[in-house]
Amino acid sequence: MQRCEFDNDGYPAFQIYAPAEQRVPYVFNSPHSGRCYPQSLLNASRLSPQDLRRSEDVFVDELFASAVELGAPVLAAQFPRAWLDVNREPYELDPKLFKEPLPAHANSRSMRVAGGLGTVPRLVAENFEIYAEKPSLDDAMWRIENIYRPYHEALRKLMAQSTVSFGHAVLVDCHSMPSSGGRNENQTRPDIIVGDRYGTSCNGDISREILKRFSELGYSTSRNKPYAGGFITEHYGRPLKGLHAVQIEINRGLYVNEATLEPTEKFADLAADIRTVLSHLVSLPDSTFGAASIAAE
C-alpha cells in the first residue's frame, strides 16, 4: 500500500501502459487494483489500512500486464476502490453516507447503492463500514469531477483509437474476487468467471474463447454467475456498433494469501497462464467483431 493525495501532490490517478504501437483491437482495464491510499481516507476511516484493502482487486494490473507485450494498452487505476469506484454510474450515491441531501440527478436506488457499494462506497467487502463520520457531499463531487470523469475520458479515448485503427474495439475489464462468499460464505467460487451481461455486451465467441482457453489450462470456469459485469461492461459494450466489452474475474485464492494480500508462489504461474489465454484471445479473426456475427448469436 502507498499513501498519497491526488489533489495536492501530483500523484497520477491512473496510468496507461501502452505498446509503442497498438497491434490488436483490444483495450484492457483494471479499475479496482489501485493501491495508493489517500491519507485523508485513512484519517477518516474507522478501518485499519489492511481492512480498507478488502475491496481491492489486488495486483490484477500486474496479472494482465502481458497485454502490453501482446500489443494492447492497459488502463490501471492508482486510486483505491474504497475511495472511488469507477465501475459505477457517475452519481450512483448512497443517501446514508453523506451529511447533506443528494442532488436530484443522483441514482440512490440501485442495487449497488443498497449494498453500500456506490460510486463513493459506504462499505468495503464483507460489509465493513468505511467512515467514522459521514463525509461531505462536496468531497464526493470532487472525486467524481476530478478523478472519475478523467478516468472514463481516458477509457473512451482508448476505445475510440482502437475503433479508428481497426474498425472495432474490445474492452477486457479485469477484476478479482474472494475465493468464497455469497449467501453461503463457505461456498467456493470458480477460478475464473467471465461476464458479458448475458450475451449483450460482446460477441459470444469472445466469451467462449476466454472460457475455453482457461478450461484447457485446468481452471474451473463460469459464465455470468455470479458476476455478469458491472457498469463498465454494460456501458461500453455495444456489439452492434463493433464495440465489445467482457469482464474477467480471477479468484484471489489462486495467487495471493487472502489474509495478508501478499502474492503466493503461484502468482507467476497464473500470470503466465493469463498471457497464454490473452495470446489466443487477441488472435481471434476480424469476422468475430462484425454486426453480422452478432446477429447470428
Segment 157-195, tens digit of pLDDT: 999 999 999 999 999 999 999 998 755 556 789 999 999
Give the cell for residue 78: 492508482
Q: Which residues of the chain, if any, have pLDDT below 70?
A: 8-10, 182-186, 291-297
Quick one: pLDDT at residue 182? 55
Quick one: pLDDT at residue 10? 66
Burial of residue 133, with CB atoms counted within 10 A of its CB: 0-12 exposed, 13-18 middle, 19 or more buried: exposed
Report how far residue 174's alpha carbon sits from residue 291's, in angstroms, rounded to the nearest whole number: 25
Identity of residue 156: R
Instruction: Give CA separation, 87 vs 80, 106, 177, 201, 236, in Å.
Output: 12, 16, 15, 15, 11
Give the cell for residue 110: 440501485
SS3 221: strand
Rounded to 5°, the CA angle 73-62-92 comes to 75
Quick one: pLDDT at residue 136? 95
The pTM assigned to this predicted structure is: 0.94
Report how far residue 249's alpha carbon sits from residue 178's, in angstroms, rounded to the nearest whole number: 10
Quick one: pLDDT at residue 296? 38
Report how far residue 16's alpha carbon sits from residue 127's, in angstroms, rounded to the nearest whole number: 31
Residues 6+ apart with CB under 8 A from 260: none
CATH for 2-81+144-295 is 3.40.630.40
Residues across the chain: 297
SS3 149: helix
Quick one: pLDDT at residue 125? 83
